[in-house]
Structures are given as C-alpha cells and as structure tokens.
Amino acid sequence: MRRTEGFSLIELLIVVAVLLIIAAIAIPSLLRSRIAANEASAVGSLRSLATANATYATIYAVGYAGDLNHLGPPAVPPADATHADLLDSAISGGCPTACTSNSATKSGFNFTYRAPNAAPTTATPNNTYTTVAVPILIGNTGTSTFCVDQTNVILKDIAIGGGNTSANGNGCRVDGWVGATIAPI
C-alpha cells in the first residue's frame, strides 16, 4: 500500500503563483510609499533648515549661514557663529569640528547648500542662500527635487527627475527655479 504525504508539485506551483501575484500587487505600492516618505522627510528637513537659517540671521549679525556646518552642533559647547547648534548633524553635514560642509545626505536625498560668502561678516553678510534637495536615485528614493531660499518658500520641481538640481546661493527663483514644472509647496 502506497502512502501519500506532503503536497504534490501542482499544489506547490499554485501556492507559488498566488504568492507572486500578491507580491506583484504589493511591491509597487510599497515603493510609492517609500518615495512619498522620503519626499516628506526632504521637505521637513528643508523647513527645519529654513527656520534654523532665519534664527541664525537673527542671532548673529552676519546674515544667513555660510555653510551647513554653521547651523550644526559644535564639537564642544557653547554654540557660536561657526556652529550655532540650530540643526542636528544629519542635515548640517555631520561635521562638528573645524571644517566646511555644503552638502548632506538624509532619507534618500542629497542636500546642497549655497550662500554668497562662506565666512560671512557684518561687512559682507549673506542676504541670500539656496538649498536644493535632489533624490539620490531618481524614481527609487524620490521623483521630485526641492528648493528653499531666504523667502522660506519651498519650491518643488514636479518634472520626473527634476530639471533643476543645482544652486548658486542667490535664491531659488534667481537660480532658475521658475517654470511650468515648479510649484510652491
């Protein structure tokens, strides 16, 4: 007498096919959710940066920060104009010692900061700045690029991949952040 235990090959193939169908439905939704979360994080980081830079300009009589490091934490307290401790190290470039940082990476986006003067003074203050957030892998970590400047208005380039990916420190609108695909958030 033959004993039958386990599953037949057909039954296993049916189970695998059902799992593949479920995965094909779920994975794109998961990827869209991750992109949306990364973009929300980028916008939140730009808002924090804009607020920190406005605070910096109010506290120190040199206008806006010369680089992201000026907004970050100092290696040893107290805070000063070179390390104002207004942003965490994740977005301020992560450099608490004597260095300059104009870029940072967070949540799938590269952030690039530009101001006219790297070391602003009361005689040569920074009256403008530009920060651009660009997805590291377009279509995977994000689909839009974002920009914020001294106006504290965050602009979004809704073209896939974003046509605008650079900043020269004169403000989003001066740096070419105008056009049909640009919209304030």
Mean pLDDT over 121-136 rounds to 91
With a pLDDT cut of 90, the percent of the chain lying above it is: 35
The predicted pLDDT at position 163 comes to 56
Residue 180 has pLDDT above 50, yes or no: no
Mean pLDDT over 7-13 rounds to 90
List 146's β-bridge partners, or say none: 133, 156
The predicted pLDDT at position 36 comes to 94
Q: Of 13-17, 91-95, 137-141, where does the model show the most confidence?
A: 13-17
CA dist., res. 134 & res. 83, Å (int): 25
Per the CB < 8 A criterion, the answer to whether 56 and 71 are in contact is: yes
With a pLDDT cut of 70, the percent of the chain lying above it is: 79
Q: Tell me the per-residue pLDDT of 20-52, one tens digit each, with 9 for 90 and over.
A: 999 888 888 888 999 999 999 999 999 999 999
CA dist., res. 69 & res. 64, Å (int): 12
Residue 104 has pLDDT above 90, yes or no: no
Q: Tell me the per-residue pLDDT of 149-171, one tens digit each, with 9 for 90 and over.
A: 898 988 888 665 555 556 666 67
The predicted pLDDT at position 162 comes to 54
The predicted pLDDT at position 96 comes to 53
CA dist., res. 67 & res. 69, Å (int): 5
Q: What is the DSSP letter of 114?
A: E
The predicted pLDDT at position 123 comes to 92
